[in-house]
Amino acid sequence: GAGVSQSPRYKVAKRGQDVALRCDPISGHVSLFWYQQALGQGPEFLTYFQNEAQLDKSGLPSDRFFAERPEGSVSTLKIQRTQQEDSAVYLCASSLGRGKRETQYFGPGTRLLVL
């Protein structure tokens, strides 16, 4: 079956440019997470959606980062006025339910390079 997909897979942006990263979760999955993974590090939580509601955005590094999931399916992570420190792999994950025992299924990630 179809897994989590993300697009684009690679994005090169000039500093100051706005970017939009897309995530298509597994159909029917209630929960959707965004993580940021710096080179050589483990992923770090950015934000969480339960259906269309953004319940936790405590991990977003600054107000330049914005995420949405308007219809409770596809999600977009937007970064405004990109900076070099935004260069990382952005991972999307979805899970069927919402509890702490749930398995999260990860997409392949979008590698963002800000020049």
Partner 1 sequence: GDSVTQMEGPVTLSEEAFLTINCTYTATGYPSLFWYVQYPGEGLQLLLKATKADDKGSNKGFEATYRKETTSFHLEKGSVQVSDSAVYFCALSSGAGGTSYGKLTFGQGTILTVHP
For partner 1, the binding residues (CB under 8 A) are 4, 31, 33, 35, 40-45, 48, 50, 55-56, 91, 93, 95, 98-109
CB nearer to partner 1: pick between 79 and 93? 93
Between the CA atoms of 63, 64, 65 and 71, what dihedral angle is there, to the nearest 10 degrees? 90
Report the nearest approach of partner 1 to the CB of residue 70 (Å). Answer: 19
CB nearer to partner 1: pick between 64 and 111? 111
Strand, helix or coil for residue 65: strand
CB nearer to partner 1: pick between 49 and 82? 49
Report the nearest approach of partner 1 to the CB of residue 90 (Å). Answer: 12
Could you give the C-alpha distances from 67 to 32, 49, 60, 108, in angstroms and in order?
A: 11, 9, 9, 18
CA distance 114 to 103: 32
CB nearer to partner 1: pick between 5 and 87? 5
Report the nearest approach of partner 1 to the CB of residue 100 (Å). Answer: 4
85: left (phi over 0), alpha (psi -120 to 50) or beta: alpha
Report the nearest approach of partner 1 to the CB of residue 39 (Å). Answer: 11
